[in-house]
Structure 1
């Protein structure tokens, strides 16, 4: 029985954590053993879990990042212990997701995978692997193409007081220059176009979009509500983030709320305690939601989902909402444009234009729109179809290794 090892900062929580867990389940159903190595947080999993490092090591890594821009370069002892476990495990395929998150030394990991010639795939959920510092480039800097320096976004995650972007970029470039058994998997054509201009352009590359579990994300039809505090008689715009920051549009949503008609509201998921205290009255706020039934109900009963993230590399929440029958508004120039079409959503330049779309949304035949939205997700982003692409790739890599 072949062994799949996935590596991600978290398991079964947040967007990438859920993807990792669901992919592990699918691999098991296809006759694979599934292992997931993680660094920070894990909920219940059907895969074998491997914790990389301790809470103290994560904290130390975070401090070194904050002061010295050493993200991904600490946790040497934690990584060394982890690699010894791999000596015993001997995975047949390694699937890397997010390596940022203060838990692993990525040069040590890559050198180990190369030395042992382990077939490796890397799903790119963001930009961190191809920059000297940033997880999201914000389209205000193109130094990542030829060599980072004097980073203009040191205050953005992973924030730092010292700028090592030049040496970080060069280190990554040198590692990627000699990784013969790696396949890079951007989650959208939009992201792949950026990769083609980056230090990673020479790596084998194919696009595999994220998959949606359409058996979980579907129109909510239960008689009893699992969500309280929302007046659904108002026109409701849902927005969601793992955590809300200025970088992913928090300020834009607050400004949007000030311009809404009086019979409209925003349903905002992912807020912290301080944000919950300060939001305007026409925003119904929730903390991060792990209960999928609650998410399903919020998606379904909202009139529209607005994905405000200018740097979204796929738009998992957009597809989840559409799977629940809810149309979406996405920003022009983002990967979100690959998810919606003219029948299932709207493309806007900025949050100001959301106001202009509300009258059109009110006129929609909700039943027909719900059907079209779900059909598009079933056709293009159903998790079983997407996960099968991963399994086909794994099997191909194993066959190549045998040959």
Structure 2
């Protein structure tokens, strides 16, 4: 294990943070590491390689919508990637988000098998053990090989044809040929993956995701409170999630705010709100997408309670980052949520139950230094990204 490539759909976002962080770690350890990503900045430096072209990305997305075969239509981009991997004599590949309209998975896996390359699949969602979907969302069709997909029109969207069984079979054939591979992910993902016939004879390992605890730490928030015009006595609920992603459940956060609009103890702050501001109740402060991570850490630190009402997530970075900034969590008891924290740092309620959410919020008080210290200590002990990268490196070394 000497020449390593990390393959992901993007170089930013949550999976981008995993890829870029691992890349930097490997470089520091003396490995010849290359971060290959589907779309984003053209050229960062010689250790980064953008796989796709803008036109090819949109073509893949269009053809997927018309004909349904996600993972088929990026042959040019994939062949460029494979030539790059061959030129760099890559012997180990870390795959993260292999979906995203930039990769022909059949060509990619054929290359791995043919060249006897070590492969570590970081399961950042459920896509590796399903057919075409990123999350099962309660569907069990994957237990019998997919087909009749109830999420045909969800990402990756197909307007006409259901190709979920075809994509499933391609994965099945590819996985059956892998001889030097391990699939890693948080406990929830590993448990869920074991149900899938795709994962027969696949080696798996539980590895929590992680964050940069030196970036996400409790911040001074007096200036931010003044900027947002929040009185000192207010109890602050914060949600950081894009409104446009329905699965993130932001509407439940807004419904809770609406239910408590006459209880003047509370103020709701939503970072990632891109909707009509006129729809927000008076106790609701909409904030757009925040790219500056230091500023984002201030918003996390602002929360007396960090509310993350997602319905589908394996291990959401926003929750880990909020914990590291000293804020306790309120999440739905669904998907990977219950695996991210314990009762000392989080409360879990029935999914979509706004009444329960309101009840918990009513009991919330301004957080103390003890609360901040407890949440921070939990995050440092469990989610330190340096420990995470070491585990990923060990996973690669463990493949014979």
Q: State the SS of the aligned residue for 2:199.
A: coil
Shift of 1:45: 5.7
Deviates more, 1:316-325 or 1:339-348: 339-348
- Which residue of the partner structure matches residue 143 of structure 2? 145
* 1:396 equivalent among 385, 395, 398: 398
Q: State the SS of the aligned residue for 2:228.
A: coil
- Which residue of the partner structure matches residue 265 of structure 1? 267
- Which residue of the partner structure matches residue 388 of structure 2? 386
Change (3 A) 1:247 1:335: closer
Q: Name the TM-score, length of structure 1 as normaliser.
A: 0.91
> 1:300-311 residue pairs with structure 2 within 5 A?
300-311=301-312
Shift of 1:149: 1.4
C-alpha RMSD over aligned residues: 2.2
- Which residue of the partner structure matches residue 345 of structure 1? 346
> 1:278-293 residue pairs with structure 2 within 5 A?
278-293=279-294
Cα distance per residue 1:326-352 (max 9 Å; x no partner)? 001122133222222121111111333
Deviates more, 1:295-304 or 1:26-35: 26-35
Q: Does 1:9 align with 2:9?
A: yes
Question: How many residues are paired up?
Answer: 393
Cα pair 1:156 1:247 within 8 Å, conserved = no
- Which residue of the partner structure matches residue 360 of structure 1? 363
Cα pair 2:312 2:334 within 8 Å, conserved = no
Question: Where does the alignment leave 5 or more consecutive residues of structure 2 unmatched?
Answer: none
> 1:17-56 residue pairs with structure 2 within 5 A?
17-42=16-41, 48-56=47-55
> 1:182-331 residue pairs with structure 2 within 5 A?
182-186=181-185, 188-198=186-196, 199-221=198-220, 224-225=223-224, 228-229=227-228, 231=230, 233=232, 234-242=234-242, 244-260=244-260, 261-272=263-274, 274-276=275-277, 278-331=279-332
Shift of 1:277: 5.9
Cα distance per residue 1:199-228 (max 9 Å; x no partner)? 123211001111111100001137754994
State how far apart, in whole Å, the 1-side matches of 2:200 and 2:306 are.
34
Deviates more, 1:374-383 or 1:364-373: 364-373
Question: Where does the alignment leave 5 or more consecutive residues of structure 1 unmatched?
Answer: none
Cα pair 1:10 1:42 within 8 Å, conserved = no
Change (3 A) 1:127 1:47: farther
State how far apart, in whole Å, the 2-side matches of 1:336 and 1:44 are.
36
* 2:372 equivalent among 365, 370, 373: 370
Change (3 A) 1:265 1:156: farther
> 1:102-121 residue pairs with structure 2 within 5 A?
102-121=101-120
State how far apart, in whole Å, the 1-side matches of 2:231 and 2:67 are.
48
Change (3 A) 1:155 1:235: farther
